[in-house]
Amino acid sequence: MMLAIETIDLTKDYRFGFWRKHSKRALDSLNLQIEAGQVFGLLGPNGAGKTTTLTLLLRLIFPTRGTARILGTSFEDRAVRARLGYLPENPYLYDHLTPEELLNYVGELFGLPAALRRSRVGELIEQLGLAESRKVPLRKFSKGMVQRTAIAQALMNDPEVIFLDEPMSGLDPLGRREVRDLILGLKARGKTVFFSTHILSDAETLCDQVAILSRGRLQGCGDLHKILRLEVSSTEVLLEDPAPAAMAELQPHAASVVRTGDWVRLEIPEEHEVPKILEIALRHGVRVVSLSPVKMSLEDFFLAKVSASRDATKEEAVPLPS
C-alpha cells in the first residue's frame, strides 16, 4: 500500500538569542510512515512539536535536517500542494471577505475553472453549515464558524491528504461531533487524514494509527488498538465482602484496593500474581465476582510516555507492533 506521508529524520531547530547563538530543538529526528486511506493522529502535550511537524510538511517553515515525501513525491515540490488540504491551528482568515469570496479566492489559487469553483463553493457551504452566513464578512463570525470556514477552504480542492491542526479547538460539542463525522466521511471516501490534537478521546474514536510526541521526540507510534492491547496494565479482581484476614493476605499483592459497599476491587499489577490471589481468596472462602484485564486507556499510555520522557532525556520509541 502506498505511503501517503513519510518523514525521514525530520528535525527542526529554532535559533534565538541576540546573536542567534542558542538553539532549541523543536522536533528531533521524526520518522513516520503513514499509509494512504488512514486517519492518523499526532498526539502530544502543548509545545510537543505537533504544529511544527505540520508546518514543516507544508513548507511554511523549513527543516534543519531531514526530508519528507507526500503522495510519493518530495515535499519540496510545490505542485503536490495542489492535492493537499490544510487547516491551520487557530486559523486567521481575511476578515473583510465573506465565506463565499474566500472559498472562491482559494479556488482561484488552485487554478480551478470557474464553473467547478462555483459548484464546490456551493457544496462546501452546505456541507459545513455556512449557508445562512454565506454573504456575511468573516469579521462578524463566531470562532466556531470561522473554524468551519477554515475547514471548508481546506477541502476546496478535494484533496487526497488533509492536514488538520487541532480541528476541534474552539468548537462546542455539536461542532466537534460534526467535525468527527466529517473526518470519518473523508476516510470513507478514501482520503488520508492527518490531524494533531491533545484531546485523546477524539483520537481514540477516530484514529487508525497514532504517534505520540513529547518535547519534539517521538515517544510511541503505531496501530492504536495494538498499542492499547499490548499494554495490558493490570488485572482487576472484584471480591464480595472479603474477611479482614483475607484482606491482610491479599493487600500486599495489590496495587490498589477500593471498597465500594460490599465489594472490594483489587488491582493486581503483575499477571503472574493472579493465580496466587485466587488461591488466597478460595482458601478464605471469599467469593470472586469477576476477573478482567484492565486495558490501558490511551490517556494512561499517553501520560506514561510523556512523563517518562520528562524523567529521562532519552527515550527509545516503542517498536512498531508487527
Partner 1 sequence: MKSSSGIAGRIRVRPLCGILVVSSLIALWPLQRALDRARGPAAEISEVLYMPSGSLVRRFCLGYEGLVADIYWTRVVQYFGRRRMAQSTRFELLGPLLRITTDLDPQLLVAYRYGSIFLAEKPPGGAGQPREALQLLRRGIVANPGYWRLWEDVGFIYYWDLKDYDNAAKVFLVGSERPGALAWMKVLAASVAAKGGGYQTSRILWLDIYRQADTDSVRRSALEHLAALDAQNELASLNELLARYKVGTGQPVHAFSELVTLGYLKAVPRDPSGAPYVIDSGGRASLSPASRVDLRLLQ
Partner 2 sequence: MPQRRKQSLSPHERVNEMTRIGSIAFHTFKESVRERVLYNLIVFALLMIGAAILFASISVGVDQIILVNLGLTSISVFGLLMAIFIGIGLVSKEIERKTVYVILSKPVARAEFIVGKYVGLLFTLLVNTSIMTAGFYLALLYQKRGLEWHDLTALAAIYFILLELALVVGLALLFSCLSTPILSAVYTFCLFVIGNLLSDVRWFGEESASAVLRKATALVYYLLPNFGNFNVITQVAHGEAVPGYLLVANSCYALLYITVLVSGAILIFEEREFR
Task: Note the residues at the interface with partner 1 (CB under 8 A).
Answer: 74, 76-79
Amino acid letter, residue 189: R
Amino acid letter, residue 255: A
Question: C-beta of 57: minimal distance to partner 1 in Å?
Answer: 15
Contact (CB, 8 A) for 237 and 246: no
Nearer to partner 2, 216 or 222 (CB): 216
Among partner 1, partner 2, none, residue 92 binds (CB under 5-8 Å by kind): partner 2
Residue from 106, 161, 212, 224 binding partner 2 (CB under 8 A): 106
16 in contact with partner 2 (CB under 8 A): no
Cell output for 86: 490544510
Nearer to partner 1, 21 or 78 (CB): 78
Nearer to partner 1, 7 or 234 (CB): 7
Cell output for 315: 527515550
Binding mask 39-58 for partner 2 (x = CB under 8 A): ----------------x--x
Report d(CA 180, CA 197) in Å as an integer.
Answer: 13
Question: C-beta of 46: minimal distance to partner 2 in Å?
Answer: 14
Nearer to partner 2, 146 or 221 (CB): 146
Q: Which residues of the chain form beta strands (DSSP E)?
A: 3-16, 22-35, 39-43, 65-70, 73-74, 84-87, 161-165, 192-197, 209-214, 217-223, 232-240, 256-260, 263-268, 287-295
Nearer to partner 2, 84 or 125 (CB): 84
86 in contact with partner 2 (CB under 8 A): yes
Question: C-beta of 191: minimal distance to partner 1 in Å?
Answer: 22
Among partner 2, partner 1, none, residue 93 binds (CB under 5-8 Å by kind): partner 2
Report d(CA 217, CA 28) in Å as an integer.
Answer: 5
282 in contact with partner 2 (CB under 8 A): no
Residue from 10, 27, 30, 84 binding partner 2 (CB under 8 A): 84
Among partner 2, partner 1, none, residue 91 binds (CB under 5-8 Å by kind): partner 2
Cell output for 304: 506514561
Contacts of 275 (CB under 8 A, 6+ apart): none
Task: Report the side by side order of strands in the sheet with 217-223.
Answer: 84-87, 161-165, 192-197, 39-43, 209-214, 217-223
Contact (CB, 8 A) for 58 and 64: no
Report d(CA 200, CA 7) in Å as an integer.
Answer: 23
263 in contact with partner 2 (CB under 8 A): no
Question: C-beta of 180: minimal distance to partner 2 in Å?
Answer: 23
Binding site for partner 2 (CB under 8 A): 55, 58-62, 78-82, 84, 86, 88, 90-94, 96, 105-106, 108-111, 150, 153
